[in-house]
Structure 1
Amino acid sequence: MSPALAWELVRPVARLFGLVLVLVALVGVYGALQVGRLRDADRRASDAQGRAERAERARIDAEAARDLARAEARIEVRYVDRVQVVREKAQIITREVPVYVTPNADAACVVPVGFVRLHDAAAANEPAGPATGNPDAPAEGVALSDVAAVVADNYATAHENAEQVTGLQDYVRALVEHCAR
């Protein structure tokens, strides 16, 4: 067979083969473009999902902050109301000292200097130290009614502190509940 005849037989196959190669190359380029588009679409979808999740978290955080602010306001109102009740009762008790500790009781009961020293040390949360002088001697200018008024005031302060602690405990509970969300 002559080379020209062989070429005439191979030429259509070669053209077909060339056409197939071009088609394969086009399909490859198209596939690569599609993969790039799919990756880009996936990235955009992932970004959108991330933004949606952040927006949802921000919404939840805003609701929790709003709820915490409401709880804080309720706690503060309850605390202020309870402390006000304690103060009002303390004023009544202090006004009643002369009714229950009369001038006759003041005259009949000498408040010893040892008691005054120990009371003052306890109020300062300090040890009284060694006794000096006679602890049974009368304290100058301290009447039993003065002692009663100071004790009533100290108890009022203790009750105010108790209400403050209760208010702080309520606040911490609300804060823990907020953080648990």
Structure 2
Amino acid sequence: MNRTLALVLAALAALLTAAGAASWVTHRYHAAVKRADDAVAEAASLRMQIDNTDSSIVTVTEYVDRVQTIRVKGDTIIKEVPRYVTVQADAACTVPVGFVRLHDAAATGDVLDSDPGDSDAAPSGVALSAVGSTVAANYTVNNETAQQLSALQATLRAQGVTIIGEDPAP
């Protein structure tokens, strides 16, 4: 009976050892599978980042070219102001202080006084050609900024980002 008990205990110990070893191997297998899955996911993420970087480089190059074109056109328009707003036009048109204040407030986003007052009707000393050059320069900067924003939005869309105010991409 002792011998049978010893054999049963030995078999039980061997079975427990085998079960423990199997559990350890199974745990190691699942850990290896998880590491492999994580590596595959990271590789996919890195591939996507590389693809986005490539498209970003193209987008930046395109937008820089477009902004440069806008700047050249704006500079050309500003150079043409004397042809379209002549010295005679400068002499014939008095730009009032109120217009200058209104323009400057609009450019800076400030709020004007509710009562313009008599001083706003006085001549400002600013020539009409200077107004034309300033407006052309402001529109050039506005167009450059709009192009930069469009390029940024295109880059973000290419990366799968939803832009506020737009419908999500399908």
TM-score (norm: length of structure 2): 0.85
Verify: 1:145 aligned to 2:141, yes or no: no
Identical pairs, percent: 38
Give the CA deviation at 1:85: 1.0
1-side partners of 2:108 and 2:25: how far apart? 73
1-side partners of 2:57 and 2:116: how far apart? 51
Unpaired runs of 5+ residues, structure 1, are 1-16
2-side partners of 1:53 and 1:148: how far apart? 63
1:136 aligns with one of 105, 121, 146: 121
1:91-128 Cα deviation digits (max 9, x unpaired): 11001111111111111212122211211221121122
TM-score (norm: length of structure 1): 0.80
2-side partners of 1:135 and 1:18: how far apart? 118
Give the CA deviation at 1:19: 4.7
RMSD: 1.8
Which secondary structure does the structure 2 equivalent of 1:176 belong to?
A: coil
Verify: 1:38 aligned to 2:38, yes or no: no
Verify: 1:47 aligned to 2:47, yes or no: no
1:32-79 Cα deviation digits (max 9, x unpaired): 121011111101101111211121122112112211211221221122
2-side partners of 1:18 and 1:118: how far apart? 110
Question: How many residues matched?
Answer: 160
Q: Which residue of 2 aligns with 1:88?
A: 72
2:100 aligns with one of 88, 93, 116: 116
